[in-house]
Structure 1
């Protein structure tokens, strides 16, 4: 496959991780990953609504690749976004299943190609996440990472219990993901950069404020109200106001819709993944993230965050109990862009 300019190719000796940034790298970067599959492709997705990606899956199936796809059946609000794609893949002969009913929602966005590489993403496989939103993915060729993503897929496919090894660097929900995120925030000594749309967990909020109190310079890029459900807006606005009160610098990203989930510590390590800072994401849903200290990945995350920060404006979240102020300066509502 053709590498992203400025980044090492996946087959470079010793290479284990590469970062994808959306919309910069575009859907073509993911299509190329699918097109290189020669034996097996495992895909687990919250939303699959992209003609280019569906066609790439069908091409893989047609050339003899064993393709298995798991799709989340419905959102927490009851929307069934994947029914049409499920029926289409099934009719084409691909092996497709709904995600495990052990979880009310599977929000994970992952893919394994030929037991050789794994993609762990913040973006859904739907067109708007390649054109309108800030999102990330880590592509890893680490054998232990690939094996664990595959094992998680197989467990959910069989509806069996899955207990991950926390030493691999993957962050799973509902399995100690809150503790792993808290540990990373607690490790910050100089800087803590957070790019998240949703703040609905008191444990992580307290950790962020504690970091600021011990002298860490904390930046938060949020998305304002855009995409936040009516039942989550109270906590998110209140959390943003509390962080501001303790000296956290808060800006609202608007040049792109904010869908990324990024925590960057001291400019040397990071966590990205599907989980929002949200109780349900930690305790109820199937989610997947990855910790990284790979220099080329962290460097690009820093550059992208700084780029977005420079284009964002200082944000003072409105009173959660004053709905008349909630829409000021917001992007137009999008019923198909809701943070689970």
Structure 2
């Protein structure tokens, strides 16, 4: 697996890294996206269409709050003759961010194909050339395109929701012997919380980079703040990342392995939504993830989450609210 993986880091690599993937396509592009709002990406898709690449795009129709971010992109692609469809109704939200290029490479990302995530947020994307990984991402795409059930393989390093992602994330955490570095904005799942506490108690050095309240919905503040307070009580070191804005979802284990992808630490992400993550072990990828996490950690400040029942303190030290930056 290791030799077949490489890493994209946002905002460092920028939209150019994604455009380069699209521009290399010669025969086929399969894209499944929560949000498409980037003229550079759209123009790259138009160029691919004009050179004869077969393109199919699935876009999530609306967020859990009802926002319809993708209507404009849908109409634009349809007008260009690109095959475009809404994501499967089997899931209330499709949060997956994937792309398959010519059946030779698959991108599994934490970032949306939207300019904000290329310029303002810390995000990651893993490009895999592993044939088994690519086959499974394609199979998941085809199943959702056809609105049929998909039974993914559990042995290729992909993490699918709503199938088995909670269990796999727990297994990754349980495997830690020395260190766990968590870069996640949202903590809304008791199973994963207990696993992190247990790791700290068995002597693993656990560090958590969170985003504070920024980007959290009102109903997620209660669980996230309470979870962060419990982690602090257990001795976990916690810092709040402000810039780049924290949108990444990363668990880094013992400097040897990692899990990243679209799913937040969130019950709905595990149980209801279509999500996709990937386990990583390529030394170059792990090294860059570690370097990026460490830089973000050094730039961040110690954070003690306020009492979730005392909203008077919820905005202390926070970035200004951004209605277009929400951890769905």
Q: TM-score, with normalisation over the residues of structure 1?
A: 0.96
User: Where do 1:7-156 residues align within 5 Å?
Assistant: 15-156=3-144
Show the counterpart of 1:304: 292
User: Where do 1:232-247 residues align within 5 Å?
Assistant: 232-247=220-235
Query: Number of paired residues?
Result: 327
Structure 2 CA distance for aligned equivalents of residues 278 and 231 of structure 1: 12
1:69-110 CA-partner distances (Å, limit 9, x unpaired): 000000000000000110110011000000000000000000
Long gaps (5+) in structure 2: none
1:169-219 CA-partner distances (Å, limit 9, x unpaired): 000000110000000000111000000000000000000000000010000
Show the counterpart of 2:305: 317
Long gaps (5+) in structure 1: 1-13
Conservation of the 8 A alpha-carbon contact between 2:3 and 2:282: no
Q: Return the offset for 1:15.
A: 4.0
> 1:195 and 2:199 equivalent?
no
Q: Return the offset for 1:160.
A: 0.6
Structure 2 CA distance for aligned equivalents of residues 112 and 302 of structure 1: 26
1:215-243 CA-partner distances (Å, limit 9, x unpaired): 10000000000000001000000000000
SS in 2 for 1:332: coil
Structure 2 CA distance for aligned equivalents of residues 22 and 109 of structure 1: 14
Q: TM-score, with normalisation over the residues of structure 2?
A: 0.99
* Structure 1 segments (4+ residues) deviating >3 Å: none
Structure 2 CA distance for aligned equivalents of residues 167 and 123 of structure 1: 25
SS in 1 for 2:218: coil
SS in 2 for 1:303: helix
Structure 2 CA distance for aligned equivalents of residues 292 and 127 of structure 1: 26
> 1:291 and 2:283 equivalent?
no
Q: Return the offset for 1:256.
A: 1.1
Q: Return the offset for 1:255.
A: 1.9
SS in 1 for 2:150: coil
Of 228, 243, 250, the residue aligned with 2:238 is 250
